[in-house]
Amino acid sequence: MKELLYLEIPTADTAAARTWLQQDWQPPAGDRHPTPDGVQLRFAETPNCELAIFLWSVQRTTYLKLFRWGDRPIPQERQIQQQLAAAIQQQFPLRYPAPPAIDLSQQSIFDALAPHYPETVRYFRQMPQGETDLQRVYWWEKRWRDQVRQPQAPQPVVHRQSGAADGQPDYDLIYLGGALGAIHAAVMAQRGYRVLLVERLTFGRMNREWNISRAEFQSLIDLNLFTPAEFEQAIAREYRDGFSKFFDGNNPPHLKADILHTPTVLNIALDTTTLLQLCGEKLRAAGGEIRECTEFVQAEIYDNLARVQARDRQTGAMLQFSGRLVIDAMGTASPIAWQFNGDRAFDSVCPTVGAVIEGGFPPGVWDANYGDVLNSHGDLARGRQLIWELFPGAGEELTVYLFHYHQVHPENPGSLLEMYEDFFTILPEYRRCDREQLVWKKPTFGYIPGHFSVGSGDRAVAGDRVLAIGDAASLQSPLVFTGFGSLVRNLSRLTALLDVALKHDLLQAETLSQVRAYQSNIAVTWLFSKGMMVPTGMTLPPQRINAMLNTFFGLLANEPPNVADTFIKDRFTWMTFNRLAFKAARQNPALISWIWWQAGALDFLRWLGAYFLFTLDALINALLSGWFPGWLRRAQTWLEPRYPRLWLRCLSFSYRLTGGRSPLTPPPPSQRKRDRPSSRTTVMARQVSDRC
């Protein structure tokens, strides 16, 4: 027996596909005979050989395999393979359904969506605030689709006005968005700044849960935002280990992989409600204010301040606030990010859905001491490689996510509602359960963005008196797409740079653009995430993306534990990247051609530009990291007051050299020898600065 063909029929109706195969499909040769799961093709000229085709269903789609029974090829088998694949593509093309237009004044969200997403409605009805939450899912998808499909320029919401406005600003910082924004707002309020937080929803209610490691969260303790005791209070669960494993049942032996163990990656599940409430308490205690259920409308930018107009969602009243700087923390749906970057606001996205489940799984389904960091239980399904995450929480709670890497495309923006229908339908395939016995606490969902940066300046994160952070700035990890972890890892860097900009009133677009957490190593890994997407309209072999994932993660599984830890947390070096890339190419020589085919020539050339800058950064780091941060630390007393603009640029540059560690903090004693330039170097550097 030899497998000749494996492909997906992108339909959830496996019975219809089987009927078509048995009754309507006309093979170019052979006599067709129906079987319970497909057909057999028999050939008079080769009585001891036949072709067997069978179908099966998993992940709410249909798969087909064609086998030859016999010890020699059948003359027409190549022609049959090609004709069958073409006929299936014509009969069952990829479709990208969109949610229906609904009027909630005439019917409930449940009644409106039940004919289209029956499983989604069924289980949202069982959630405590399911109706409100499903409205939020629908609103989020509709807003995302409108922005992706809108052919004209985004509707401007930031308007530059000439001259200065009357009066003084009421606040130093106005934060738009109360999730990641709340963390940063609390830090800045504790530094003495007058802070206002504007949140569209009830403050403290999250679409997603957060996971992190102790080492990463330590930065929030170092910033004095939390005490160690408060951190322990916010921990819902700490795991012993986390697993990453991708389905390899259809991969050749050399592309199968061991389980990747990452005991210090995303191994702490946070109680987001507790964490955000603590942030809110600290923000208010430091004199800050929170305006919840208030929706941003637009901002007017003057020479001396920014005026924000917002709408109270409960009363409909228009509100106005003024501040020195507006911080955009509104996430992927941010109209400010779309205005600043137009059709390049985001290059990719991860539509992510899931739920917090309080209980109901049978004993033995999952050990709460472990997390499932990344997992797939099947191949491509309707043009997407579905990936699961599972993180235990407090008590018997499990938070389960389902997502896929996705190309942003007007014809196929990516659907949360379609993903939820998948989630509720195939959850028992992923983890054994009776869905009716599960206790549903709340949904978790969102669009997690990705931006493929070639250099530090090819994405606008700032305008005059406006700065984006978090998902609005596409600050996320390319591998596990953890926007929260990326923000926390870079929070001390962003805070220090923003503090300098505010202290010296460097609030123009050019100077605020220095307040960013660009890393050239992250920029170079976007090609990997690009390879995990199926371009709109393209059909790939079903096992292709699992084969690529197993190549990457299989290499990490065979490396020392610290290599996987640094790679997934975006701390890998030029040498580590190249060593692993060469090993991947040697193990899977087809990898480069696969990525070229999926990414296209233009994006591959863009990646070469990113790789060149990564190499240049590595060279600059080797030349300067040993002495420049130490020199800058000693030069602060005269450089900052005399040349604040130059100081901000040097500080931002030095953070890149130190990998995000503060250059103003002396390194450990073992590193200090390398941190001392000669006296001649110091004099030359000061002379150069004096000329600027």
Mean pLDDT by 10 residues, the chain (692 residues): 94 96 94 94 88 96 95 88 95 94 93 97 96 94 85 81 94 93 95 96 80 89 93 93 95 93 91 92 96 96 97 95 95 83 73 95 93 95 95 92 91 95 98 96 87 69 92 66 75 93 96 85 78 88 95 93 86 91 92 84 84 91 92 94 96 87 69 40 38 37
State the residue for tokens 């205005």: 339
Q: Which of 534, 542, 548, 549 is nearest to 406 (CA)?
A: 534
pLDDT tens track for 473-493: 766 666 654 568 778 888 899
Cα(317)–Cα(252) distance, rounded to whole angstroms?
63
pLDDT tens digits for 310-342? 999 999 999 999 999 999 998 877 889 888 877
Q: Are strands 370-375 and 241-245 parallel, antiparallel or unpaired?
A: parallel
Based on the number of CB atoms within 10 Å of its own CB, is 25 exposed (0-12), middle (13-18) or buried (19 or more)? Answer: middle
Q: State which amino acid sits at residue 656.
A: R
What pLDDT is stored for residue 650 in this prediction? Answer: 95
175/196 Cα distance (integer angstroms):
6
Joined together, the tokens standing for residue 640 give 């900052």
Residue 290 is classified by DSSP as E
Burial 490-512 (b: 16+ CB within 10 A, else e): bbbbbbbbbbbbbebebbebebb
pLDDT at residue 470, as a whole number: 82
Give helix 574-587 / helix 544-557 axis angle, nearest 10°: 130
Q: What is the largest CA-CA distance in the chain?
A: 94
For the chain, domains (ranges, CATH) are 2-91 (3.30.310), 109-152+352-450 (no CATH), 625-691 (no CATH)
Distance of alpha carbon 640 from alpha carbon 632, whole angstroms: 10
- Are 53 and 64 in contact, with CB atoms under 8 Å apart? yes
474 touches 459 (CB < 8 A):
yes
Q: What pLDDT is attached to residue 682?
A: 40
- Structure-block tokens of residue 137: 């899912």
At a CB cut-off of 8 Å and minimum separation 6, what does 80 contact?
Answer: 27, 28, 29, 30, 41, 51, 66
pLDDT value of residue 326? 97
d(CA 636, CA 647): 8
Q: Comparing C-alpha atoms, which of 78, 672, 60, 73 is closest to residue 427?
A: 60
Integer Cα distance of 527 and 585 in angstroms = 14
Q: What is the pLDDT of residue 338?
A: 83
Question: At which residue do the structure tokens 């003057």 appear?
Answer: 302
